[in-house]
Structure 1
Amino acid sequence: MLPQGQCINAARYCSTLDRLKEAIRRKRPGLLRRGVVLQHDNATPHSANLTQQWLQRYGSEILPHPAHSPNLAPSDFHLFGPLKRHLGGMAFETEDDLISELRNWFDNLNVDFFRVGINSLLSRWLKCIDLHGDYVEK
């Protein structure tokens, strides 16, 4: 969680990528040898020179992400709906209460939840290609 008033910049994003790389090294070491494919949008921290240098140094491949394409972002098409339904009607006294509830929700998600979201990305990409980049509803 970022301190209030701070935002993601290229240095912070690269630090996040460092932590991701370390987690992959610990959990799936062979994956790093084959190369990692990332998908991120064209936000400034993602397209900054510092980030591009990091990606090149570690041989990461980036899937192109058309602007304004929530249909290709697993968080948008797979995560936010169930999260919104879970939080619906809840009220939180403090930010810490909200953070605690979010951590609890994420901790209790089954690995298959994430697998389904990532696996559906392939069919969405294929539809996007077939539609020459047009919006993919489902």
Structure 2
Amino acid sequence: MGETEVFNVPSVRKENCNHRIILHHDNASSHTAHRTKEFLEQENIELLDHPPYSPDLSPNDVYTFPKIKNKLRGQRFSSPEEAVDAYKSAILETPNSEWYGCFNDWFHPTEKCVKFRGEYFEKQ
């Protein structure tokens, strides 16, 4: 991984040397691609399974993308690279307390999904 990558496995391992790294993703094709799976296995990153057809359980769809989209709203970029750099900056500028809130908001519906064994349930 390059120096500008948002997720730097060695630095995460250094800060959390006694903890496992568990990744939750939404089964998008880029996340389930062979190359991605190889990388995660090589880095000893465990996967938290995501129920299919459950976009309401994807932190990226519920929190990250809308939050960053609002931060970048109205800006124009001259290249894809410039847009990616702006996205990375917005992610890195988001305070840890907001990420903590995202996790708490995500945990409740995920817990419900486990309780109902992946079956559909209405938001309440």
- TM-score class, shorter-chain normalisation, is 0.5 to 0.7
Confirm whether residue 25 of structure 1 aligns to residue 10 of structure 2.
no
Q: Which has the larger radius of gyration?
A: 1
* CA positional deviation for 1:117: 1.3
For residues 97 and 50 of structure 1, the distance between their equivalents in structure 2, rounded to whole angstroms, comes to 24
- SS at structure 1 position matched to 2:23: strand
Structure 1 residue aligned with 2:94 = 109
**Cα distance change, pair 135–69 in 1 and its aligned pair in 2 (3 A):** farther
Structure 2 residue aligned with 1:83 = 68
Contact 1:40–1:63 under 8 Å retained in 2:
yes
TM-score normalised over the length of structure 2: 0.67
* CA positional deviation for 1:54: 5.7
**Cα distance change, pair 42–109 in 1 and its aligned pair in 2 (3 A):** closer
CA root-mean-square deviation:
3.4
- SS at structure 2 position matched to 1:30: coil
Contact 1:71–1:135 under 8 Å retained in 2:
no
Confirm whether residue 95 of structure 1 aligns to residue 83 of structure 2.
no
Moved more, 80-89 or 126-135: 126-135
Residue ranges of structure 1 left out of the alignment (5+ in a row): 1-16
Identity %: 22
**Cα distance change, pair 92–118 in 1 and its aligned pair in 2 (3 A):** same
For residues 101 and 54 of structure 1, the distance between their equivalents in structure 2, rounded to whole angstroms, comes to 26
* CA positional deviation for 1:80: 1.2
TM-score normalised over the length of structure 1: 0.61
* CA positional deviation for 1:135: 5.5
Contact 1:72–1:124 under 8 Å retained in 2:
yes
